[in-house]
Copies of this chain bind each other. A is one copy, B any other.
């Protein structure tokens, strides 16, 4: 998606050759016009996949998941990372490893919000090692639901997430794929 690539080139900053800082428009400040164009693009790419629901993970997936859901006319469910006192129902849970923060964290979804046989589209802001998306796919499997696909805003191709998701049988669509960020220079696939 050309507009997104331009934004990444103009406003993204590479840290340590592996982290791409795009908090100017994606995950701290949010460019809503860009998000709308991305939502329409996801709709185009998963148009024939009969999506019943969009699943994402807090926090930075929520915005793009909500904007995208408008084009599919389906609800969003976001997986949570911390148990709050108003989650009383039974949950599906899984562990996710964050390479950025070097921690493992628990992720869960209330059982009532993903049902057997539903077709679930996973939407997230980044794909790097694929751990977060794999965690969501695990939850979908536990629920007996079907994976419609995985839609990613920015994929960092060199961190191996694509292979893992394709091995898990996912149809993967990324709006921008970065092949390399060596020496701070962003090169798209």
- Give chain B nearest CB distance to A88 CB in angstroms: 7
B-facing residues in A68-110 (Cβ within 8 Å):
69-70, 73-78, 80, 84-88, 100-101, 109-110
**Could you say which of A1-9, A31-39, A40-48, A164-172 contacts chain B?**
A31-39
Q: Does A49 contact B (CB under 8 A)?
A: no
Chain B residues in 8 Å Cβ range of A163: none
Q: B29 near A77 (CB under 8 angstroms)?
A: yes
Q: B100 near A31 (CB under 8 angstroms)?
A: no
Chain B residues in 8 Å Cβ range of A75: 29-32
Q: B63 near A23 (CB under 8 angstroms)?
A: no
B-facing residues in A113-138 (Cβ within 8 Å):
113
How many chain copies?
2
Chain B residues in 8 Å Cβ range of A76: 29-30, 32, 63
Measured CA separation A58–B74 after assembly (Å): 22
Q: B31 near A88 (CB under 8 angstroms)?
A: no
Q: A66 near B32 (CB under 8 angstroms)?
A: yes
Chain B residues in 8 Å Cβ range of A87: 23, 28
4 more CB-based (< 8 A) A-B contacts, given A19-B86, A23-B110, A30-B66: A21-B88, A24-B112, A24-B113, A28-B113
The residues of A with any CB-CB pair to B shorter than 8 Å are 15, 19-21, 23-24, 28-33, 35-36, 58-59, 62-63, 65-67, 69-70, 73-78, 80, 84-88, 100-101, 109-110, 112-113
